[in-house]
Amino acid sequence: MTEPAHFPLSAVVGADELKLALCLTAIDPKIGGVLIEGPRGMAKSTLARGLADLLGDGPFVTLPLGASEERLVGTLDLDAALGQGKAQFSPGVLAKADGGVLYVDEVNLLADHLVDLLLDVAASGTNRVERDGISHRHSARFVLIGTMNPEEGELRPQLLDRFGLNVALDGQPAPEARGQIIRRRLDFDADPEGFCAQWAPAQAQLLERCQGARERLAQIPLDDQALAHITERCFGAGVDGVRADLVWLRAARAHAAWRGALHIEAEDIDAVAEFALRHRRRERAAQQMSAPEPQGRQSFSAQQGQGAWGDMPPQATSTGARREVPNWAKKP
């Protein structure tokens, strides 16, 4: 059965910061995935699915709402182990996501022990299932994309820190952008294949750029000068631990590869600073500790990923420099 067409990332209106973060994660999955924050109706699932396209033929797997631990990690059939002399493993969501993207909607509403488990496997690339002294392990290398609406509850700081990058979406696009969002969505719904064909050149250019960056990545050193600059800024931001330093350095290198450079420059460090620091600053942790528990934390909220984003003017970096809008974000 032919997989139905889905909205191409190159046709998404706006959300340039998130599209950049997703591209960087596709270039270097060791960055550790992306946590997307924003209200409902911000096309978070549409954007996350676009990452699977950038990774090639990898699967895009969604963690079902209310999934149990067994559904997540898989199960071992002990009766088969006794009768056949070997354990029979029934794969879970983690096994199915191997080599692709695991999308977790409303990750802040998952039980903490499931979030811990997800993040541990995402970091190690291996899932191990044990039952009554019998164990099974398998590869589970995937890019973890989590979404959350902060109004419905926060993640603990220890769990926030485990996500490589963090991006917040603005819930109020300008009227012109809103019009583009609706028009492109209507065009896609009316003729998905024709719409995808229209955006195929821009999508091919995006894929080519990501592939070239992946091939270039190993040639770019994680040099001491860039590391020293990053560690100074992490210290100045009051970041606990050293995960931010490592993620920031990897993301800066991926950004250099994205630009086509062979060395990490100051513009690469600045371009990804907020991605690495936003969810790790101490003031955010302090706000979470003092904030009352939001209402509705016990229920899940399904996101349908309606809407699409795309062309926006150049964005300002933290140093005030203007970032070039890549060709893949422009209309065909």
- The answer to the question of residue 4 being in a domain is no
Q: Rounded to whole angstroms, how far apart are CA atoms 12 and 185? A: 9
Structural domain for 29, as ranges: 9-218
The residues, ordered by sequence, that sit 6+ positions from 214 with a Cβ below 8 Å of its Cβ are: 26, 27, 28, 257
**Residue 38 lies inside a defined structural domain of this protein:** yes
Domain membership of residue 190 (yes or no) is yes
Average of per-residue pLDDT across 246-254: 96
pLDDT at 169: 85
- pLDDT, residue 249, reads 97
pLDDT for residue 284: 52
> Percent of the chain beyond pLDDT 90?
42
Model confidence pLDDT, tens digit, residues 8-47? 899 988 888 999 999 999 999 889 889 999 877 777 888 8
d(CA 279, CA 282): 9
What residue spans of the chain are helical by DSSP H? Answer: 16-27, 44-54, 69-73, 78-84, 93-96, 112-124, 157-160, 175-190, 192-198, 200-217, 224-236, 243-259, 266-271, 273-277, 282-290
- Which of 38-42, 223-227, 258-262, 326-330 is least confident? 326-330
Number of domains comprising the chain: 1
Model confidence over 267-310: pLDDT tens digits?
Answer: 999 999 999 999 988 655 444 444 444 333 222 222 223 333 33
Residue 291 amino acid letter: A
Residue with tokens 């690469």: 268
**Is 32 within the bounds of a domain?**
yes
Give percent of the chain with pLDDT exceeding 70. Answer: 80
256-269 pLDDT, tens per residue? 999 999 999 999 99
* Close Cβ partners of 150 (under 8 Å, ≥ 6 residues apart): 37, 108
Q: How far apart are CA 315 and CA 325, in angstroms?
A: 8
Amino acid at 30: K
Give the model's pLDDT for residue 2. 59
Out of 172-186, 200-214, 305-319, give the one with best mean pLDDT. 200-214
Active-site annotation holds for 243: yes
HSE (side-chain half, CA atoms, 13 Å) at 233: 21
The CA distance from 65 to 301, in Å, is 8
Quick check: is 264 in a domain?
no
Q: What is the pTM of this model?
A: 0.77
Measured between alpha carbons, how far is residue 243 from residues 37, 144, 239 in Å?
20, 16, 9
Res 320: pLDDT:
35
Report the candidate in 78, 101, 100, 105 with the shortest Cα–Cα distance to residue 89.
Answer: 78
Residue 311 covered by a domain: no
Average pLDDT, the chain: 80
d(CA 212, CA 207): 9
Q: Are 81 and 95 in contact (CB under 8 A)?
A: no
Q: How confident is the model at residue 81, as a pLDDT?
A: 56
Assigned domain for 177 exists: yes
DSSP string spanning 59-119? -EEEPPTT--HHHHH-EEEHHHHHHHSSPEEE--HHHHTTTSEEEETTGGGS-HHHHHHHH
Residue 24 falls within a domain, yes or no? yes
How many Å apart are CA 228 and CA 223, to the nearest integer?
9
Q: Both tokens of residue 221?
A: 């050193």
Of 120 and 171, more confident = 120
Mean pLDDT within 203-220: 94
CB atoms within 10 A of CB 178: 14
Report pLDDT for 90.
Answer: 86
| pLDDT given for residue 111 in this prediction | 87
Q: What is the mean pLDDT of residues 149-164?
A: 83
Instruction: Give residue 320's identity as a one-letter amino acid code.
Output: G
The active-site residue, picked from 49, 184, 233, 243, is 243
The CATH number of whichever domain residue 164 belongs to comes to 3.40.50.300
Element (H, E) at 131: strand 126-131
Q: Mean of the pLDDT values across residues 194-199?
A: 94
Q: Give yes or no for a contact between 230 and 269, defined as CB atoms under 8 angstroms apart.
A: yes
Q: Provide the pLDDT for residue 254.
A: 97
Place of tokens 């071992």: 76
Task: Give me the mean pLDDT over the 143-158 stretch.
Answer: 84
For 59-68, the pLDDT digits (tens) are 899 998 888 9
Summarised one tens digit per residue, pLDDT across range 92-114 is 999 999 988 999 988 888 888 88
